[in-house]
Amino acid sequence: MANRLGTLLVGGLVGAGIALLYSPKNGAENRALVLEKANALWGQAQTYGGQAAERGQEFYSQARSTGGQTYAQVAERSQAVYTDIKSKGVSAYQAVAEGAKKAADTAGSYAKGTAQRVQETASGAVKPAFSDESDDLRARIDEARERIAAQVAKNAEEAKAAATEVVAAEAEEVVAEAEEVAAEAAPETAAAE
């Protein structure tokens, strides 16, 4: 727009200069003619300036509208992805918790059953001479309980690590989707400017 206005003004000045050189009129008539042409050019410049201001305002409004729409789209997608990741994280946490509880229940019932069988065997059929061996057996049972509890804790940690990996992978997907939305919005915003 500014280029057109500059070209118009330069063209007008060059034309006026050439007209003055070849004009058969006297100085007063030429001054009046130049003044008339200058006023006409000034009016055109004001018209073009007004049009440029209107177009600038339209462009600004359009860019603002496009930016607002893009922001709303990004916000909406981000919220959807956040909700999705949150639900997947809760599901993974619940699965890990249920698995750990089942493992602990299984280990506890196994240890309890073993302790009951050992106690029944020791109390009814074992002679007092074997009490040292039953103490040794109890110690082994206690060690087995500790190993089982350690294994349950290890399994819970592995399940937690697996859940963390799932959440991290989902977070990477969210970031990729957000970048994709931003990339889609960038050309629209650049075109609007």
Is it the case that residue 26 has pLDDT exceeding 60? yes
Residue found under tokens 């496009």 = 66
Q: State the Cα–Cα distance between residues 88 and 103, nearest whole angstrom.
A: 22
Q: State the Cα–Cα distance between residues 50 and 48, nearest whole angstrom.
A: 5
Q: What is the pLDDT of residue 131?
A: 62
Is it the case that residue 36 has pLDDT exceeding 60? yes
E strand residue ranges, the chain:
none
Q: What pLDDT, in 10s, does the model give residues 147-183? A: 898 888 888 888 888 888 888 888 888 888 888 877 7
* pLDDT grade for 34, boundaries at 50, 70 and 90: confident
* pLDDT grade for 130, boundaries at 50, 70 and 90: low
Sequence-distant (≥ 6) Cβ neighbours of residue 110 within 8 angstroms: 148
Q: Biggest alpha carbon distance in the chain?
A: 147
Is it the case that residue 123 has pLDDT exceeding 80? no
Cβ contact 92:171 at 8 Å: no
Cβ contact 157:103 at 8 Å: no
Q: List Cα–Cα distances, 80 to 4, 74, 77, 87, 140, in angstroms.
A: 48, 10, 5, 11, 54
72's tokens: 């709303």
Sequence-distant (≥ 6) Cβ neighbours of residue 149 within 8 angstroms: 107
- Predicted TM-score of the model (pTM): 0.35
Mean pLDDT confidence for 81-95 = 76
Q: What is the pLDDT of residue 190?
A: 61
